[in-house]
Amino acid sequence: MKLFIDLAIDLGSQNIRIVSSANDTIINEPSLVSIVNKEIVAVGEDARLLETSINEDIKVISPILNGIIIDIPAASMKKHM
């Protein structure tokens, strides 16, 4: 019985992907974060949907550029996924 599962994490500029050793995609979400008043309000697909919001208080950013985390606070979205 195997107790551990191998995971691959791809921090792409467009999408964040987590894939298991069984080639099962666990997460495949846009690399986007929505922020209002310095608070993260949405990540991934939910943040992408807010890009077209007319609310000027909502900022949608991509904290990853060319596979490098350029905005560490925004990239800490793992607790929100």
Q: What is the DSSP letter of 56?
A: T
pTM above threshold 0.75: no
The number of distinct structural domains making up the chain is 1
CATH code of 45's domain: 3.30.420.40
Q: Is residue 65 part of a domain?
A: yes
15 forms beta bridges with: 30
Kind of pairing between the strands at 33-36 and 39-43: antiparallel
Residue 20 maps to a domain: yes
| Residue 64 placed within a domain | yes
* pLDDT in 10s for each residue of the chain, 81 residues: 566 778 888 888 889 888 887 778 788 999 898 988 888 888 899 999 988 888 888 889 888 888 788 888 777 654 454
> Angle at Cα 12 formed by Cα 57 and Cα 38, nearest 5°?
25
**Residue 14 falls within a domain, yes or no?**
yes
In which domain, by residue range, is 32 found?
A: 7-80
